[in-house]
Amino acid sequence: MGSLAVGDNAGRDVTAYQYQIEAINKWLEQQSNRFREIATPIRPKVEWRSAADIPVDFVAAQARAADIAIIARGHLRTDPYYALDPGAALLTMGRPVLTVPPGIEALQAQRIVIAWKDTREARRAVREALPLLREAREVFVIKASDDGSESQAQKHVDDVAGYLVRHRVIVAAKSVERIQTTAAAELIRAAQTGCGQLLMFR
């Protein structure tokens, strides 16, 4: 972040800016200590990276050392200097992004649902998620289908399931859900009632 102060208030503006940076760095240090207290007993080899920087730019730069980015999903401030925009991060990081809903304290992902849509983005998402999918106890593949297209939808689901099995992923079930309301609503309903927890890969 840069600062340009012009006029009679220049000295005061620069001092206020420096104070703000010092406060941010102090807060980051406190968060670092808290993170290490929680994470180190579980996984000794952890690393904390932080900086008083534009969130999207900083996270995108650090993603070069990561396999996957996990971002909390919820109401965020719109100011790009104070909040991370998951969409902007996804477009700049070049890494798969997993968004996690509020209230999640642990992420085991033993049961994963793939809500399939036959697009380039979905194919990339499944391939990039293979390391996580291999660790799951069971994976479900489901697809929402319009009336009259169930046979084609089933072919898509069968192909995806076969691809996953060839890559040593345990596919527990596959299904095609007829759309009664919206595709999104049917996929979420199927995941909640028949397939366990739903993880959306963006």
Q: What is the pLDDT of residues 103-159, one digit of tens each?
A: 777 777 788 889 888 899 899 889 988 988 998 888 989 887 766 577 888 888 899
Burial of 169 (0-12, 13-18, 19+ CB in 10 A): buried
Strands 97-100 and 171-178: unpaired
Average pLDDT over residues 33-62: 87
pLDDT at position 8: 45
pLDDT at 191 over 60: yes
Q: Which of 55, 123, 65 is nearest to 88 (CA)?
A: 55
Beta bridge partners of 175: 142
pTM for this entry:
0.64
Question: What token pair was written down for 28?
Answer: 């980051």
Question: What token pair was written down for 129?
Answer: 């998620």
Burial 112-133 (b: 16+ CB within 10 A, else e): bbbbbeeeeebeebbebbeebb
Q: How confident is the model at residue 168 (pLDDT cuts 50, 70, 90)?
A: very high
pLDDT at 4 over 70: no
